[in-house]
Every structure is written in C-alpha cells, then in structure tokens.
Structure 1
Amino acid sequence: MLAELTIRNFAIIDEIRVQFEPGLNVLTGETGAGKSIIIDAVGLLLGDRAQSDVVRAGTDRALVEGVFLVDERLARTLRPRLQERGLVEADDPLDTIILTREVRLHGQNICRINGRPVPLKLLQAVGEQFVDIHGQSEHLSLLRPRTQLRLLDRFAGTLDLRAQFAAKVAEWQQVRKAREALALSERELAQRVDRLTYIVEEIRQANLAPDEEETLQAERRLLANAERLALLSQQAYTLLYEGSDEQQAVLDMLGEVQRALNELARLDERLREQANDVQTAAAILDDVAHTLSDYMERVEYNPARLQEIERRLDQIFHLKRKYGDSIEEVLAVAARAEQELQDLADAEVRLAELREQEEALLHDIGRLGVELSRARREAARQLCAAVEHELRDLRLGHSRLDVAFTWQPSPEGAPVPDAFDNDPTARYAFDASGFDRIEFLVSTNPGEPLKPMARVASGGETARLMLALKTVLGHADETPTLIFDEIDTGIGGRLGGVVGRKLRGLAERHQVLCVTHLPQLAAFGDVHFRIHKVVEGGRTLTRVERLDEQNRLAELAMMLGTGESAWEAAVELRRAARQV
C-alpha cells in the first residue's frame, strides 16, 4: 500500500508529505484547492507523461516520491524483475519500495526505485503493481483486455486450468521448434549433410588427442633450443666436475673445504654439523654433475622431427581457428556434427513422429481451450449480472455490461470441433492464455449499443463503473491501492452514502484513496484529509491537513452548509458511518 507521499515544487504545491493509512482515506477541500493536483502527482509517479509546466514557478525541478509497503505476494512478483536490474539481492528483505520521479524545468526527468536510476518503463511496470487510479487518470488497469482476462479467470476460479493450458502450449512449442528444425528443403538438407560430413572427416582424419598440443609444444621447445641446452649443460658440468686451466672444479674445491672442516670438527666438535652439511652438499653436486653428463648425451639435434612438429601444430592451429579454442572443443564439434548427421539420416522418420506428436498436442490444446472458454463464459454471465446489480445501487440502473469473446481463425491453430457453433473444420489461434480474446463492453444509457469500456465518455460513469467492477471483483483484484477521483460526479447526497458504503467494503481488502465533494461519502473514511490553499509571501500554496474527529465534524458540517443543523447532520453522518 501507499504509506507516504511526498510532493515538492509541483504546480501550486511547494512541499507536502502525507502519511496514508490502511482502509479508506478520504480527501476533501474546496474546488481549486489542489485535490486533483495530488492525484496528478501520483499519476506522474506511476509513469504519466511529464510536462515541464508542472514545475512550480520560481523553481527548477519538481519531485514526487512514494513509499510503498510490500506484502508477500507482491514481493514474489516484483523480486525477479528487481533482481534482474540489480535493485535487490536474492536474500534482501523486500518489505518497502520507494518510487521517485523528478521533472526538471528543461524537460529532463529522472526515475528512481529505492534511490537508483531506472528507465521509465520499469517505473511504470512496478508502479502499476501497487496503484490503480480511477477517474481522470489513464491508470485504469481494468480497461486493458489482458487485465480483464486475468481478473475473469480469478473470478471464475480457472487459474489452475489456465496453467494447465499454458503448460500444454509450452510443450507444443518445443515439439514445433524441433519439427521446424528438421523440416528443411531437400537442397538445404543435402547442403547441410555435405557440410557436416566435411567437418567430421576433417577433424577425424587429424586424429587429435586431447593433450597432444601441450606435449608437442614442450617437445618443440626442446628441439628448437637443443644447441643452447647442450652448451649450458656442458658449461655447468665443466664447472662442477672438470674445471679449467684457470679455475679448479667446484667439486675439487668443495673437497678441500670438506677436509678443512673435518679437521676443524676433530678439534672443535661444535663444527661437526657444518662439516656434515658440506659433505652432503658435495654428494648432491656430484649427483648433479652425473645427471648433467647423462643429459648432454640425450640432447637431440633433430631438424626433421622439429619440422614434423611444426606441421602438426599448424594443423591443430588451423582446426582450432575453425572449430574452437582448444582440442577438446574441436573434438566436441566433431561429436555434435556426427550426432546431427545421425539425426538427419533419421530425419524423415523423426519428422513424421514430430508431426504426429504436434497434431496430438494441438488436439489436447483444443480440448483444454474449449473447457477453459466454457468456464469463462459461464463466469462472465455471473459477473455481468453481479455488476449490473451493483450499478443499480449507483444510479446506473439502465447500464448493461457484457463480455465479448472473440476467436481468431488461423490455419496453424488448434482444431476445436463442436465448440460454440464454430466451423468444426476450422482451426483457431491461441497463446498461453487460451483461445479467448475478451473485452468488457458497457452501455450506460437505454438504447445505446454496447461499447468497449475504454470508450465510455463520462468520467463519473467510468468511475462508478469501476467501483461496481471493483466491488464484484474485489477478491480477484490484487492491486493494493485504489484511488477514486470524480467518483461523485453527477450524483447527490443519497447516492453518496451508497458509494461510501461500497468504498468502505472495498477498503476491507484494499487501501482506498478517494477525492470527494460529498459529505455523505466522506463520512465513511477511516482517515480524513482536508486540502486547502494558503497565501504565503504573495504565493498561493496547497496544504494537506489530517483531521481529528472534531475537525472532521467541522469539515463535514462546512460541506453540508452552515448553522447548527449542518453540525447536527455531520454528527449523524459520522454516527451512521460508524454503524456501517
């Protein structure tokens, strides 16, 4: 729900911060006080088009910020989208979301979620999960056919059946994708076989081993440096074992050191360990000298072998450049090509199997789709009757509501024989939601034809129609916050009480914000806000005041008229509202 709304430098509002409560929040005030401006600000927060003229004169930017409390259902819905954008971590609590919209004087506007910039579309997608504005705004989710279908399914209790249908459609899509991958023309098939055969033969003839490249590179390094390896090993051996005319061998010198230390150790036992260390070092260096002697004999000068290795490495490099970054990847390409060749060899058989499987799934889709549509149509009749009953209470007794169902013929669709007097040989398009394309149709005056709800002209009629639908669909609609503006247009005090009772009923399941001029409606509010204008420093500003019970009575009395009778009437309205 909307817990707090902050508005700065928006139209005639310099700064207000309103803390809303669960239940029914009513907003009242004189015409022009700024009630609709507050609703416009919420609309901006939800993604309405931003105009620079909303920035209050004398400032360079306007800001609207809403703090929303998130329940478990909404958290499950929003978390994947927010995680995808890096706005929340998997283990972060998601009990509050802050939406912010900033409009600058020169047209630039910035959207934020929890303080981080986001695209406008994401702000809109998140915002519409929290709020529906009914009246002057464009945020009428019930006008969207997809929303209407989802709500009808919830009303009809067909969400499980719809999920079964969607699962069957997903299975059919996989089979169709596999069939289309095989359904190549003969020329394309032949070309593909030739290409795959060439890949397999080229790689298999190379007879690659997984660790061959590393082994060859190590051998190449030795062969290419054979002369230097021999020279360096000879130098080391000579210094250790043979020495030269100018320099005694290291081992000979170490022998002299060992003899001196042995003599020292006989005189001073404390040097025995050092004498033993030199003896050990001499033994180690003697082993090194013998190893170097053997190594020199094994150093190979083999230009022919080096050329052979270079040719082999060039072949491996060529294959890697075409098929992968390593021998393992090249071999994997060959394995996949062999498997695809086998699949293509069996393509005709497999293609016939997939066609048969696809057709069987289409018949299952047709059967489930008809079952789903029948349940929806029965629920739609009940829904229309219930809404028309609500509309009679709202002085729209001549209004009619209908749900238009349309199916789109398609040669690639699913067969639905003996369904709703359709052509038994026809096929119909579908998606994961079913065959049905629905739209709520309404007529608010006798003799007028039914029209799509989105084309109802009167704001007041639209708002009351929304209220009737929301009342019936209250358990199906999961939008936490409903805002009603202009809902009392064209209705009087007696009807205001009826509307108030219906809003109060909605407030049992939703947070409801209602802008109203009718005291009979305002009396039902759990919380009452008075919006008024003040003049400060020669500027007109909007203020929002939360009223206690005494001031509520005063506000209701002022809305009713003047004098003691107005006060008494206000007290009576509150008493009656409390009883309800």
Structure 2
Amino acid sequence: MLQELRIKDFAIIDELVLILTPGFLVITGETGAGKSILVDAVNLLLGDRSDTSLVRAETDRAVIEGRFLVPGHVQAALQAVLETEGLEGDTPDEVLLTREVRANGRSQSRVNGIACSLNAYREVGGLLVDIHGQGEHLSLLKASQHLYLLDRYAHLEDERAALRELVRELGALRAEINSLLTDEEALARRIDMLQYQVQEIETAEPRTDEEDELRQERNRMANAEKIAELATEVQFALSGDVGETSAVDLLAQAAIVLSKLAKLDPSLEDDYQLAETISMQADELARTIRLYRENIEYEPRRLDQIEERLEILNRLKRKYGGTIDAVLDHAERARAELDQITHSEERLAELRAAEDRLLHRIGQEAGQLSARRQDAGARLTDGIVRELGDLRMQGARFDVQIAQLEDPDGCYVGGRRLAFDGSGIDRVEFYMAANVGEPLRPLVKVASGGEAARIMLALKSVLSHADQIPTLIFDEIDQGIGGRLGTVVGQKLWGLSDTHQVLCVTHLAQLAGFGDAHYRVSKHVENDRTVTRVEHLDDHGRVDELAEMLGAETTAARQSAFDILMLARRAKEGRRIETA
C-alpha cells in the first residue's frame, strides 16, 4: 500500500507530506482546491508522461516521491522485476518510487534511489497502484486483460503455466521441422559444404598437441649447428679429450678419497654419500649429452615438411576456429548435422509423430482449462449482475463470452482443431447491456459516464480477490451518481478495502461517510502565492466537511452529516459482525 506521499513544487502544491493508512480513504474538497492535482501527481509518480507546465512557477523542478509497503502476494512478482533491472531495495516489503520533472523538460525516474528507464519504472508502478478515473487506467475495461482476470478469479494460473510450457515445447519441435523442410537446393548446397569441411579436416588429421611438438622440432632443426656446438662444449667440459683428466674423472676421484676419509672420520659419511651421488650423476649427464650430440642432424627436407604441416594447421584454424580443439569440434558438429540431413526423412517422421502427440496433449489440457473457465465465467456473470443490481442497474445484463477459432494446424479438442497459444484455446471478452432491451456488446463499447463508474465498481467488487494490485485509486467515481446511490457506492468501495488500500476522490457526502480516514484538500493564499493544503480530519472536522458537501452550514445540515457518519458506521459494524 501507499504509506507516504511527498510532493514538492508541483502545480500549486509547494510542499506536501501525506501519511496514508490502510483501509478506505476518502479525499474531498471544493472544486479547484487541488484534488485532481493530487491524482495527477500520483499518475506522474506511476510513470505518466511528464509535463513541464506542472512544475511550480519560479522553481526549477517538481519532485514526487511515494513510499510503498509491499504485501506478501505481490513481493515475488515485484522482486522479479527489481532483480532483472538491478533495482532491489534493502527489504522486499518496501519500495520507494521517485519522479523528478525539471522545468527544462528533462525528467528522471528512480526506484529505491536507483535511476532507471521509464519503461522499467512504469512496470514497477503498475504492480503497486491502479488508478481509475474518467477513461484513464481502466485496466478492467481492456479486452486483452479479460482472460487473465477470469483465470485469476478461478485460480487457474498454475494450469495455464503448465500449458504454456507444453506450447513452448511444441514451438521448439516445430522449429526443427521447419529447418528440415528447407528447399532442396539449399539443402543440397549445405550437404556439399559439410562434406567438404569434414573431408578437409579428416584428411589433415590434426591432433590437439601436435602444434607444440612441431614448433619444438622446427626450433631444433633451424638451430642444429648452434645446438651441436654448445653440446660439444658441454661434452668436452664433462669428459675432456682422450688421455686427459675430465670433470667426471675428478668427481669420481674425489668420491674415492672421501670414502677413505669417512672410514677414518665417520662424521664425513654424509659428505662421501653426496660426492658419490654427484659423481654418478655427472657420469650419467656425460653419457646423455654424448648421445644427444650424436643424434643432432640438420635435415632441410624435414624442416620444409614441418613448415608445410604448420601451415595446414594454421589454415584449418583460420577457417574453423582459433584452436585445433575448435577445429575438431567443428568437424564433430558438421558430421552430426550431415547425419541429420542425410537421415532427414526418418527424423522428419519422428518429429511429425511427436508433434501430433503434443497437439493431442495440448488439446486435452486446453480443453480442461476451457471447461473450468466456462464454469468460472458463469459464476463471475452471476456475481457481477448481483453487484449491478445493488448499484441501481437492475436491468443490466453481463456475460463472459468465451470463443474458439478453428485452425487446420491447431490442437485436437473433441474432434475439432482449434487455434491456441500459451494461454489456451479461449478468446475471452466481457460483454454487457446496460439497459433493458439493448443487445449485449463488448464492455469497452458500453461503458460511459456514470454507468462506466458503476460497471467498473461491480467488476472490482467481484474481482477484488483476483486483482493483486494492492492500492486502488478512484478519481471522482461518483460522476453521474446521486446521493442515494452514493451510500451504496461508498459501502462497495469500503468493502474493497478488505483486500486493498482504496483511495477515492469524491463530491458525495454519502460516499465519503464510509471512509476509514478522511482527507480534506483546500486552497489558500500565502505570501501572495496560491498553495494547496491537505488536512487529515477528525470526527468533528468530518461533520463540518460533510455538511459543506451537502451544500449548507446550518444546524440541520450538520445533523444530516452526523447521521451520514452514524449510518455508515452502523453499516460497517454490521458487515464486520456478519463476516465474523
């Protein structure tokens, strides 16, 4: 719900802080006092297009900020949006919206203090507040929303989600079928290309570690003369010329002498063992270097072969990937695709059979979902007709019309093939006849003026548990409604506050009497400037305000205002007892 609304330098509001409570809240005041400005501010807070004319004169910007308490049933959907956009707050049960409009035409939207795109901002706001005014934000009058409202009313969200997953699976399967039905010439060209690629790679027979081995060998071949020279120096240092005493001989002699010393002085035993080890290792090293030197050969022909092989590997990498591993992976994928194309007829038959099975399964699930919608539609129709009767529209008729379309490629439902999507086979739209003798017509074409307000209220009353938006704002829903009906409308709106926070801007005292909290909007002149003020009224202040709304400030008017409050209070208390 909306806990706190802050408005600064917006139209004739200089600075306003409004603390709001749960329940049914009414906002009243004289015409032109600024009630609609409050609604305009909330509209802007929810993402409406900015208008620089609403920035208070002689200021550079207008700022509207709303702090919302997020109920548990909305938190999951809201958190999904916030996480996707990187707009998470400190706690999941609170969110802060801030909208700033500058006099130069620029505007900024922030969620939890984080700047974001207007689309993301609107998505967040749309989960928190629904404003119902004269033709604005009438979400229930959008035909595209009727199916989802019916499903929420009947608690069919899980069934629809399961069906949507089957439809997604069918979409992937059909995509593969379409890929196999590509024209024959393109398919033949694809086969030729794949065969060439596989043959080229298989002929080369590249190995993952081959490049390193070849580069090392090329380096040895290219530097054979220098390597031989250095190896000879090492060999001479270790073994010396024939007839000369070598380093190996001297190390062996040192070990022999140390062995004799160790016999005389056992403390030199470790030194003798070390000398013995060094002597043996030096001898082994001398043999290794001698063999290495003997095997060094310079073969120009082999060097050319290495260069040629490296060029082949580089060419494969340029064509099929930056590494030999990527080349081998490409070959594997090409073989798999070639096998799939070669056996496309068999694969196509398998896919067609799987498609047929899925279409039957989708038809079964969609048929069951449709049957439950039919039952729910009948219950919804009865409920709304009752509500309209309470709202003095006894002759009105309402109908939830559910239709299907034939489609030769559709799912199988009772011997028919019907068009479908992720929501099923149904096309749902609300129809209505507002007066006796009129034919049923789409709801969006029927509602106007006071009828629109009552129709919307009836829908809201029946669908209140299905509608998950926590805060509902009704802007002058009493247009075209008299005082006698105002009592009924007030009671209906108060009933909505069982599951929502409800704010209503009204001119009817009978409606305002049902408010759990009452706010009065007034206009004053301060320092030669017009400003709007909002006052939270106590019981005494409510009597005065209702008397003024009745058009008089007499004792009789005050008594009538008091009676309105008492009648509303008794009606609310009776409803609470009945509910308990």
Give 2:425's match in structure 1, choosing from 432, 435, 440.
435
Match runs of 1:178-217 below 5 Å:
178-217=176-215
Q: Distance in 2 between matches of 1:179 and 1:124?
A: 39
Q: What root-mean-square deviation, in Å, do the aligned CA atoms of Structure 1 and Structure 2 show?
A: 3.5
What is residue 56 of structure 2 aligned with on the other side? 56
Query: 1:39 and 1:254, CA in 2 relative to 1: closer, same or farther beyond 3 A?
Result: farther
Moved more, 346-355 or 286-295: 286-295
Q: Distance in 2 between matches of 1:448 and 1:231?
A: 111
Query: 1:143 and 1:229, CA in 2 relative to 1: closer, same or farther beyond 3 A?
Result: farther
Match runs of 1:5-404 below 5 Å:
5-88=5-88, 93-136=91-134, 138-233=136-231, 295-404=292-401
What is residue 523 of structure 1 aligned with on the other side? 513
- The secondary structure found in structure 1 opposite 2:481 is coil
Q: Distance in 1 between matches of 2:351 and 2:270?
A: 84
Displacement, 1:485? Answer: 0.8
Q: Distance in 2 between matches of 1:295 and 1:236?
A: 11
- The secondary structure found in structure 1 opposite 2:425 is coil
Query: 1:460 and 1:241, CA in 2 relative to 1: closer, same or farther beyond 3 A?
Result: farther
Which residue type is aligned with residue 99 of structure 1?
Answer: L
- The secondary structure found in structure 2 opposite 1:169 is helix
Displacement, 1:35? Answer: 0.8
Which residue type is aligned with residue 325 of structure 1?
Answer: G
What is residue 501 of structure 1 aligned with on the other side? 491
Displacement, 1:280? Answer: 9.5
What is residue 261 of structure 1 aligned with on the other side? none
Say if 1:11 and 1:56, in contact at 8 Å, map to a contact too: yes
Query: 1:277 and 1:396, CA in 2 relative to 1: closer, same or farther beyond 3 A?
Result: same
What is residue 572 of structure 1 aligned with on the other side? 563
Q: Distance in 1 between matches of 2:419 and 2:333?
A: 36
Q: Distance in 2 between matches of 1:411 and 1:389?
A: 41
- The secondary structure found in structure 2 opposite 1:87 is coil
Say if 1:135 and 1:459, in contact at 8 Å, map to a contact too: no
Q: Distance in 2 between matches of 1:306 and 1:312?
A: 10
Q: Distance in 2 between matches of 1:9 and 1:433?
A: 46
Moved more, 30-39 or 544-553: 544-553
Say if 1:463 and 1:484, in contact at 8 Å, map to a contact too: no
Displacement, 1:239? Answer: 7.4
Displacement, 1:459? Answer: 4.1
Displacement, 1:509? Answer: 0.4
Displacement, 1:508? Answer: 0.6
Displacement, 1:118? Answer: 1.5
TM-score, normalised by the number of residues in structure 2: 0.86
Q: Distance in 2 between matches of 1:297 and 1:30?
A: 112
Which residue type is aligned with residue 523 of structure 1?
Answer: G
Q: Distance in 2 between matches of 1:121 and 1:131?
A: 16
Query: 1:281 and 1:519, CA in 2 relative to 1: closer, same or farther beyond 3 A?
Result: farther
What is residue 3 of structure 1 aligned with on the other side? 3
1:67-92 deviation line (CA, Å, top 9, x unaligned)? 22223332211323322222239xx7
Q: Distance in 2 between matches of 1:20 and 1:411?
A: 56
Q: Distance in 2 between matches of 1:391 and 1:152?
A: 18
Which residue type is aligned with residue 380 of structure 1?
Answer: G
Q: Distance in 1 between matches of 2:115 and 2:515?
A: 36
Gaps of 5+ in 2: 256-267, 573-580
Q: Distance in 2 between matches of 1:70 and 1:288?
A: 79
Give 1:553's match in structure 2, choosing from 540, 543, 549.
543
Q: Distance in 2 between matches of 1:88 and 1:238?
A: 75
Which residue type is aligned with residue 347 of structure 1?
Answer: S
Q: Distance in 2 between matches of 1:189 and 1:293?
A: 62
Q: Distance in 2 between matches of 1:218 and 1:545?
A: 88
Q: Distance in 2 between matches of 1:71 and 1:284?
A: 80
Displacement, 1:551? Answer: 2.6
- The secondary structure found in structure 2 opposite 1:484 is strand
Moved more, 14-23 or 543-552: 543-552
Identical columns (%)? 49
Q: Distance in 1 between matches of 2:324 and 2:449?
A: 71
Task: Tell me the matched-pair count.
Answer: 564
Give 2:531's match in structure 1, choosing from 518, 541, 563.
541
Match runs of 1:454-465 below 5 Å:
454-456=444-446, 458-465=448-455
Q: Distance in 2 between matches of 1:3 and 1:394?
A: 31
1:128-175 deviation line (CA, Å, top 9, x unaligned)? 111111113622221223321111112234334323432332232222
1:500-532 deviation line (CA, Å, top 9, x unaligned)? 111111101011111111222222222221111
Q: Distance in 1 between matches of 2:477 and 2:296?
A: 98
Query: 1:464 and 1:235, CA in 2 relative to 1: closer, same or farther beyond 3 A?
Result: farther
What is residue 578 of structure 2 aligned with on the other side? none
Say if 2:88 and 2:112, in contact at 8 Å, map to a contact too: no
What is residue 421 of structure 1 aligned with on the other side? none
Say if 1:463 and 1:485, in contact at 8 Å, map to a contact too: no
1:370-421 deviation line (CA, Å, top 9, x unaligned)? 3333332332233223212212222333333233434344443334456xxx
Query: 1:219 and 1:140, CA in 2 relative to 1: closer, same or farther beyond 3 A?
Result: farther
What is residue 562 of structure 1 aligned with on the other side? 553
Displacement, 1:231? Answer: 4.6
- The secondary structure found in structure 1 opposite 2:104 is coil
1:106-134 deviation line (CA, Å, top 9, x unaligned)? 32222222222222111111211111111
Say if 2:464 and 2:496, in contact at 8 Å, map to a contact too: yes
- The secondary structure found in structure 2 opposite 1:25 is strand
Q: Distance in 1 between matches of 2:464 and 2:430?
A: 17
Query: 1:218 and 1:557, CA in 2 relative to 1: closer, same or farther beyond 3 A?
Result: farther
Moved more, 397-406 or 493-502: 397-406
What is residue 480 of structure 1 aligned with on the other side? 470
Which residue type is aligned with residue 516 of structure 1?
Answer: T
Which residue type is aligned with residue 122 of structure 1?
Answer: A
Query: 1:240 and 1:545, CA in 2 relative to 1: closer, same or farther beyond 3 A?
Result: farther
Say if 1:135 and 1:462, in contact at 8 Å, map to a contact too: no
Say if 2:29 and 2:35, in contact at 8 Å, map to a contact too: yes
Q: Distance in 2 between matches of 1:408 and 1:120?
A: 37
What is residue 575 of structure 2 aligned with on the other side? none
Say if 2:85 and 2:120, in contact at 8 Å, map to a contact too: no
Say if 2:74 and 2:469, in contact at 8 Å, map to a contact too: no
Q: Distance in 2 between matches of 1:31 and 1:236?
A: 108
